[in-house]
Structure 1
Amino acid sequence: MGFRNLVLLVLLMQAGPALSTSTMRCGHNIVELGDDTYKVLETCGEPASIYHRTKIVGSTLHHPRRTLDIEEYEEIQVEEWVYDFGRNRIRQSLLFENGRMVEINDLKRSR
């Protein structure tokens, strides 16, 4: 790979919409993947915004002779909390599934 292509690749990677991490600092405290909404709320305070949705996951098992189909589906409550720590700081998006934090993403900086 030539130098020009390498530079382009690095720039594209930096321009991505979000970077995933496993912890987030709130003042002098840290929250991490697996923490529940109550701990995050107590540690970090109210987020700037909260988005709610429901996700359905599961599968259907088909018997080869089609005499039996088994369907297993689960409804998961998903919340996305966005923290805005002020001017020129990285905003953070926290994703919760059934009340447990499963993902932390860095968003664009506030202006």
Structure 2
Amino acid sequence: MRLIGVIVAGLAIAVWGGFDTALALQCDGKVVSMGYSTWRVREICGEPADVQEIQHILPRRYYDPYRQIYVETFVLINKSVWTYNFGSNRLVYVLTFENDKLTNIETAGYYGR
């Protein structure tokens, strides 16, 4: 009996935890995975319904072996958030690219619900 409870709890966690993040997206039978470029995703899935371009400037610290000091610098991260809406009764997907590489795939619920 205890084993059944553990299995049910494990399945519940897996199901509830899996709604937000997806590991891949399927467009017309082709799989889009992490690391794909924007042009490759556009080639497979077509134009997104919405695109948001964001730029982040993040501080970075690195060691300069010639001067033997730590140097503070800033790095520009170009972030692009694409939304794909494949129609009613299909999940809406939100894809995040950083410096032209796919870094995150999320689902945003169903369209029309």
Q: TM-score range by the shorter chain?
A: 0.7 to 0.9
Aligned length: 97
Normalised by the length of structure 1, the TM-score is 0.74
Among the aligned pairs, what percent are the same residue? 27
Give the secondary-structure state (helix, strand or coil) at the position aligned to 1:43: helix
- Structure 2 CA distance, aligned partners of 1:16 and 1:55? 28
Please say if residues 60 and 75 of structure 2, whose CA atoms lie closer than 8 Å, have aligned partners that are also in contact. Answer: no
Q: How much has 1:82 moved relative to structure 2?
A: 0.4
Q: Segments of 4+ in structure 1 off by > 4 A?
A: none
Partner of 1:65: none
Q: Which runs of 5+ in 1 are unaligned?
A: 62-67
Partner of 1:36: 37
CA RMSD of aligned residues (A): 2.4
Change over 3 Å in CA distance of 1:109–1:32 after alignment to 2: same
Partner of 2:93: 92
Q: Which runs of 5+ in 2 are unaligned?
A: 63-68
Q: How much has 1:107 moved relative to structure 2?
A: 1.1
Please say if residues 85 and 91 of structure 1, whose CA atoms lie closer than 8 Å, have aligned partners that are also in contact. Answer: yes
